[in-house]
Structure 1
Amino acid sequence: MPTLNHDTVQHTVPVTAPAPLVFDLLADLGSWPHFHGPSVHAEPIGVDGHGQRFRHWWVIDDHTVRTWEASWQFAREQLRIGYEFAPHQPGAAGVRGSWTVHPSSDTTAQVRWEQTVVGEGSHDAAGAEREMRELLDAVRSAAEHDEERRDLVVDFEDPLFVAGPVEAAYEYLYEADKWPERIPHVSRLVLEEKVPNIQFFDMDTHTPDGSPHTTRSVRICLPNHRILYKQIHLPKLLDGHTGHWSFTPTREGFILGARHTAVIKPSALSILGPDTTVLDARRYLRRVLSANSMSNLRLAKAYAEERQDG
């Protein structure tokens, strides 16, 4: 990555994909967790004089999440995305940058990232360069394998109406350390929460067909709104798995939703049998993930409605 001076860095990568597709992947901050390992969630938090504000959560290692805020400007006609870190971000005040997608042909493009540090304050320029290089590589891979990637992604949400308080259902799902006592398919769970509302846990589960799984996940808990998760140590069949529990109030109660976005690992299809196809794996995942989710939804519903009756 060429460094222009001590305040500005720049990096350009070629992508064998149409420029609008590359731009859309970069601009859809909510989709980054599906193809970029460190990304866990981007939450819209309003608008300011610099653009749309988002709070971001990125995994740094198996025990650490970095939270940061930035304002974003999306100019699709120019295929340009600008950003500026929030002034109160430690070590990042005065950091702004951009991504610009330049079409090389109808099916190829160049993506240029540039970031500038203005004003005083410390900033980990080497770390930023490394992270942006990793992000650009992830975007390039996602764009160049877009059709195959879409075929491998199983994305769905199961909803269930609950006639009880949101707070009770949220409590039930937030208290993951109690799941082995509450949820039949969870046999072990070790939880750590060093920072409030950011959880890591190791969990042993079994699917309805009896298959055991051990995973490690990170969760971002937004009280009484959503609990978002990303598996960072995955089952053998998957290349990725993210999702959330959502709590949507209605006049009569609320809708409790369980969302999954799972990415099939093509090289692991034989786990399900020697002649397993991608479609077979999609059907299997849709069935087993939904079965476990619906079980959890019903248990959370019963817990909340018992509190309502009481």
Structure 2
Amino acid sequence: MPSTQQQIDHGVVVDAGYETVFDLVADVGRWPQFHLSAVHAEVLHSNEKGDLIQHWALDGDSTVRTWRTVRRSDRAGRRITFSYMDADPPDTEVRGEWVFTELAPDRTRVELRHTIEGPARADLGPLLDGIGLDGKEHLDTLRDTAERRAELDDLVVSFTDPLFIAGSVEDAYEYLYRADLWPERIPHVVGLDLTEDVPNVQFFDMDTKSPDGTTHSVRSVRICLPPNLIVYKQISLPAVLDAHTGHWRFTETREGVVAESRHSSTIKPSAVSQLGGGTVDGARRYLRRLLSGHSMTNLRLTKTFAEERAGLRPGTDR
């Protein structure tokens, strides 16, 4: 069958060292914190052919698209190659590479190249347009993140809070999956409107009340991977944050389950003066105290729910 081949190239010069830039591209798990449309990515398995990665990304503010790539990292050769699986339209192959050229100790040229090959009669226009836009946005994110790395080390607050639950992983997962019931179950949640048009992909608008009595409204997307992981990203944010991502992770043990809350929040530089006395350290402490307080409340309520389901009364061990 006759085929056609197209190539899309993008490039950018980044004022950062090669290792810094390479690491940012290689660590797909960090992209949701810095890249606007990225929601989640995880390595499904690795072998001699490379890493099989599942990606989830926003398409607008109410849809998520997902796809898989096979990726190989060659640090010595200063390139990362990838190929898409199950590209759309059918019978279309999409492959590409990131190429890194060290111009100076703190200056790197990055090229992102895509090659698209498909049937001659296929309409590749929408695919080419999407790849072109995504490529430019990815390089813009990469440059901004790499060049602000020192500032972001101060502004990004990341931490986890774990709690042991003497119950089943299914019950613990269910409590936090059913976000539509949070206004009835969780004191600081005063309103929540949830949609789940695609199974296990949730969008919701939530109103929460802070200890000072103020109410905040946020819109979030969640990728639910039962029964072990719920990943979220806020897509409309409080005025003091540039990003907020995290997860609920559930790890089974012989005794029960460890439920973990993770937050990664990027403080807006202009908001530092409004938080914790006006210093970066004060802002970090304030934000961690607030977020940890909310997540630990949620985990303790989850613990009570799952342990009661298991037949345990609060304050007992049998």
Please give the TM-score of this superposition, normalised by the length of structure 2: 0.92
- One-letter identity of the residue aligned with 2:87: Q
2:148 is aligned with 1:149: no
Aligned to 2:206: 203
* Matched residue SS, 1:309: coil
Contact 1:208 1:292 in 2 (8 A): no
* Matched residue SS, 1:140: helix
* Matched residue SS, 1:208: coil
- One-letter identity of the residue aligned with 1:34: Q
| Aligned mates of 1:50, 1:207 — CA distance in 2 | 49
Aligned to 1:244: 247
2:138 is aligned with 1:140: no
2:232 is aligned with 1:216: no
Q: CA deviation at 1:254?
A: 1.0
Contact 1:55 1:70 in 2 (8 A): yes
Aligned to 1:91: 89
2:127 is aligned with 1:128: no
RMSD: 1.5
Aligned to 1:300: 302
| Aligned mates of 2:210, 2:129 — CA distance in 1 | 43
Contact 2:242 2:268 in 1 (8 A): yes
Identity %: 50
| Aligned mates of 1:98, 1:306 — CA distance in 2 | 52
Aligned to 1:52: 51
Contact 2:102 2:109 in 1 (8 A): yes
Q: CA deviation at 1:46?
A: 1.8
| Aligned mates of 2:53, 2:232 — CA distance in 1 | 18
Q: CA deviation at 1:210?
A: 2.6
Aligned to 2:289: 287
Which string of whole-angstrom CA distances, capped at 9 and with x for unpartnered residues, describes residues 48-81 of structure 1?
6742101100011110111111111011112211
* Matched residue SS, 1:239: strand
* Matched residue SS, 2:265: strand
Aligned to 1:187: 190
| Aligned mates of 1:160, 1:209 — CA distance in 2 | 26
Q: Using a 3 Å threshold, how does the CA distance of structure 1 residues 171 and 63 change in structure 2: closer, same or farther?
A: same
| Aligned mates of 2:30, 2:185 — CA distance in 1 | 32
Which string of whole-angstrom CA distances, capped at 9 and with x for unpartnered residues, describes residues 108-161 of structure 1?
010011110123255411210111110111011000010001110000000000
| Aligned mates of 1:119, 1:6 — CA distance in 2 | 7
State the aligned residue count. 304
| Aligned mates of 1:70, 1:48 — CA distance in 2 | 14
Contact 1:208 1:291 in 2 (8 A): no
Aligned to 2:34: 35
* Matched residue SS, 1:292: helix
- One-letter identity of the residue aligned with 2:268: K
Q: CA deviation at 1:209?
A: 3.2
| Aligned mates of 1:203, 1:134 — CA distance in 2 | 28
| Aligned mates of 1:29, 1:308 — CA distance in 2 | 38
Which string of whole-angstrom CA distances, capped at 9 and with x for unpartnered residues, describes residues 85-124 of structure 1?
01x2332741000001100010101001111012325541
Which string of whole-angstrom CA distances, capped at 9 and with x for unpartnered residues, describes residues 225-246 of structure 1?
1000000000011000000000
Contact 1:34 1:241 in 2 (8 A): yes
Alignment of 1:269-280 (within 5 A): 269-272=272-275, 276-280=278-282
* Matched residue SS, 1:62: coil
| Aligned mates of 1:125, 1:89 — CA distance in 2 | 12
| Aligned mates of 1:268, 1:174 — CA distance in 2 | 32
Q: CA deviation at 1:224?
A: 0.6
Aligned to 2:80: 81
| Aligned mates of 1:91, 1:50 — CA distance in 2 | 25
Aligned to 2:68: 69
Name structure 1 gaps, 5 residues minimum: none
* Matched residue SS, 1:101: strand
Q: Flag as ranges the 4+ runs of structure 1 deviating above 6 A.
A: none
Q: CA deviation at 1:206?
A: 1.5
